[in-house]
Amino acid sequence: MKRAVLLRFMVILLLALVVSSAFSYYFIGKNMLQHDMSAMLNTIHAVDYALDYSGNLQEQVEKLHAEAMDASSRITVISSDGTVAADSEVDQVDSMENHLERDEVREAFETGTGSDTRSSESVGESMLYVAARSSNGSYVVRMAIPYTNILDYMISIFPVLLLGTGIAFVVSVILASRFASTITTPLKEISAEMGKVHGARTEFSFKQYKYKELNVIAETTVKMAGEIQAHVEQLEKERKIRQEFFSNASHELKTPITSVRGYAELLDQGFIQDEATKKDFYARILRETDNMTNLINDILMISRLEAKEAEVTFSTVRIGPLLTDVFESLEPIAADYQVMLHKECSPVSIEASAKQMRELIMNLVSNGIKYNHPGGNVWVEVWSENGRLHIRVRDDGCGISKEDQERIFERFYRVDKGRSKKMGGTGLGLSIVKHIVEYYNGSILLESEPGKGSCFTVELPFKKRM
């Protein structure tokens, strides 16, 4: 990457240097030409000052040229009618053609000064001409030096420019290389650190870098790795729970199946003659199959809730009539256990699944009956408060100890396994209740004291947030 960055940088740099050199090259050349022209003008003024226009001009010009001027330069004096009055390079000025049409001469007569570059007809060389009107106004003094074009100047400054460009290039490449390193080195270090990741390892040691963007990469990596690990842990936890659930469920089913099989075998072999015992065995078989049905229904209910089933049908559930219905269903068992049921219900309704609401209330009330004593009571209160539906199921039954309170919502957890089973309990009722409450983003609170009774308070928002 560093090489690629550097290479690109070098190309850009070279381009910039070439463009900037070309510009300076051109402007320096132009400046030098300007400078030369003004020096020539000074010389012309000096010559003009030194000339005695009433004397022999040719002689004076030759003398001045020989004594004070460079051999390659040329001085010409032209009178106002265009005839050449004197020339440092030509002896027979009379033979020279009229100079009035020469651009620099015409310009000088018109404006005071003039200049031109062209090939000289008299000398046959490419020249730069600068001319100025004489102080007395009747002549033009012209100076010429050999000159092809602006390149003449450029050639002289080329080596200097080349050296400058070269130095600038080398220094810039060194600096650019260092600059590229400040970016590529951290990137290399970061990717090396990321390359160390194996499995769920999230121990990174990133340095603090000069550039904020690089630190962002490091921070995001740490954050992402953390999230991935949390996700993996969550999946692992869920997998364990599911596995445990399946092994518990099959264990729970095995017991009734074994006893059903035992009773059936005994009956089948014809050992039992006593009609009363036979009847008892049949009754046991029926109870065990009921237990199995309950268990399977509860297992199905839990797995549906866990899968957050989409096909839950929502409707406006009126809690009052629902409670009456639940009480009617449970009345026979309540009578059996000699437990009184009481309800106090505000006319409230909730957007929910009627089936789930029935299951929730049914489980809590039937627990209140099952874990009670003859002469006990179960009270159900329903009201609306703070925009939430409140359902409170209270009993004066056996109560639950502090340690058990923390665990009774777990699947298959029963305080008194024998008693629960005898009453057709599956150990899944409260777990289902908790799942339903969570499904509606509600909450459940348990207050209980052994020997005094228990109180479950459920709070649900009236509309489920999706």
Residues that bind ligand ADP (CB under 6 A): 363, 367-368, 371, 395, 397-398, 400, 408, 413-416, 420, 425-431, 454
Identity of the residue, 30 or 422, whose beta carbon is nearer to ligand ADP in the bound complex:
422
Residue 269 beta carbon to ligand ADP: minimum distance, rounded to whole angstroms: 34
Q: Which is nearer to ligand ADP, 187 or 423 (CB)?
A: 423
Distance, in Å, from the CA atom of 309 to the CA atom of 110, rounded to the nearest integer, reads 103
Given CA atoms 388, 394, 398, 401 in this order, what sign does their dihedral have?
positive
Burial of 381 by CB count in 10 Å (0-12 exposed, 13-18 middle, 19+ buried)? middle
Lookup result for tokens 């033009």: 140
Q: Which is nearer to ligand ADP, 261 or 417 (CB)?
A: 417
Closer Cβ to ligand ADP, 280 or 416, answer by number: 416
Q: How far is the CB of 230 from ligand ADP (least distance, A)?
A: 29
Min separation Cβ 221 and ligand ADP, Å = 44
Residue 309 sits at the vertex; the CA angle it makes with 305 and 311, to the nearest 5 degrees, is 130
Q: Which amino acid type is present at position 76?
A: T
Residues 411-427, buried b or exposed e (16+ Cβ, 10 A)? bbbbbeeeebbebebbb
Please provide the DSSP assignment of 90-111 as one string: -S-GGGSPP-TTSHHHHHHHHH
Cα–Cα distance between 424 and 41 in angstroms, integer?
125
* DSSP element (H, E) containing 371: none
Cβ of 105: how many Cβ atoms within 10 Å?
24
84 versus 391: smaller Cβ distance to ligand ADP: 391
Nearer to ligand ADP, 65 or 434 (CB): 434
Closest separation in Å from C-beta 410 to ligand ADP = 8
For ligand ADP, the closer of residues 396 and 459 by Cβ is: 396
Q: How far is the CB of 458 from ligand ADP (least distance, A)?
A: 13
Contact assessment for residue 119 and residue 126, using Cβ atoms and an 8 Å cutoff: yes
Residue 397: CB minimum distance to ligand ADP, A: 5
Gap between the Cα atoms of 368 and 453, Å rounded: 9
Q: How far is the CB of 299 from ligand ADP (least distance, A)?
A: 12
